[in-house]
Amino acid sequence: MQFGVSTFLWVSPFDTHSFDLVHKVKEMGFDIIEVPVEDKDLVDWDALKKLTDQLGLKVSISGAFGADRDISSEDPAIRANGLKYIEDSIKIAAKMGSPLFGGPLYSAVGKLRSISADQKRQEFNWCVDNLKNASKTAEEYGITLGLEPLNRFESDMVNTVDQALEIVKAVNSPFLKIQLDTFHNNIEEKNIATSIRKVGKDLLCHVQGNESDRGTPGTGNLAWDEIKEALEEIGYDGAIVIETFGAVSKEMAKATCIWRPLANSPDELASEGLAFYKKHFHK
């Protein structure tokens, strides 16, 4: 099992001027650096690939889904832009050697409404249609799409594993799978370990192993022993990544509802979180 950390912990948006983080992540002992595509034009992807290759650091690519990247929006122009964003990110993942591109692919983070059953079904259909197209691009580039449920305070569309599975079943592509974030799962699932088993080895493509308060892994109330047992039982051998937020922008703070520091420093959260991963998962 390999361990990673998202650049979100230190900076947003990540850009070419943030490449010192690549050295830091390597020196801390991580195997993977997870890079969100906030603005693709801010990053020299060729230079980043060269640097990560030199350091022997793997890359995973994640999404940042703002209001203009919503494939289930009522506005067809926004839906089209959301699909283009996913397809552009798939190409970046392929360039960077990331096996996947993951996140809340289905909607915009922070989209919170009470809507009719008919509108829910319409948005579901728009989402599925766009993910069918995105999955064709993913197949072309050999990239897996990881659909991530978010908690009810960040999305009104996909909060649970069951809802994620419904979309995956409707899209019916081997290139669309599910990624889990234990912070969200701790809010929405009756039992995280049971949910891991429900997704299973064939569909679980990525794990963001975040604590109950999104702080340092191992310091909250997550049932880490049960999580480990479930991952071992299904034979999961992918990554476990810390994805939390340090120096958040106003937009990111609002989307993630983070109003206070989650640790004494991002460096401390990363280093102590990695130490917990290594001890708990017996790397």
Is residue 148 part of the annotated active site? The answer reads yes
d(CA 1, CA 64): 25
Single out the catalytic residue among 34, 123, 148, 211: 148
Task: Tell me which residue has tokens 């703002």.
Answer: 66
First to last CA, the chain: 7
d(C-alpha 105, C-alpha 85), whole Å: 10
- Catalytic one of 34, 123, 154, 243: 243
Instruction: Give me the half-sphere count of Cα atoms (radius 13 Å) on the Cβ side of residue 140.
Output: 10
Gap between the Cα atoms of 230 and 193, Å rounded? 5
87 is catalytic: no
3-state SS record for the chain: CEEEEEHHHCCCCCCHHHCHHHHHHHHHCCCEEEEEECCHHHCCHHHHHHHHHHHCCEEEEEECCCHHHCCCCCCHHHHHHHHHHHHHHHHHHHHHCCCEEEECCCCCCCECCCCCHHHHHHHHHHHHHHHHHHHHHHHHHCCEEEECCCCCCCECCCCCHHHHHHHHHHHCCCCEEEEEEHHHHHHHCCCHHHHHHHHHHHHEEEEECCCCCCCCCCCCCCCHHHHHHHHHHHCCCCEEEECCCCCCCHHHHHHHCCCCCCCCCHHHHHHHHHHHHHHHCCC
Catalytic residue annotation: 148, 243
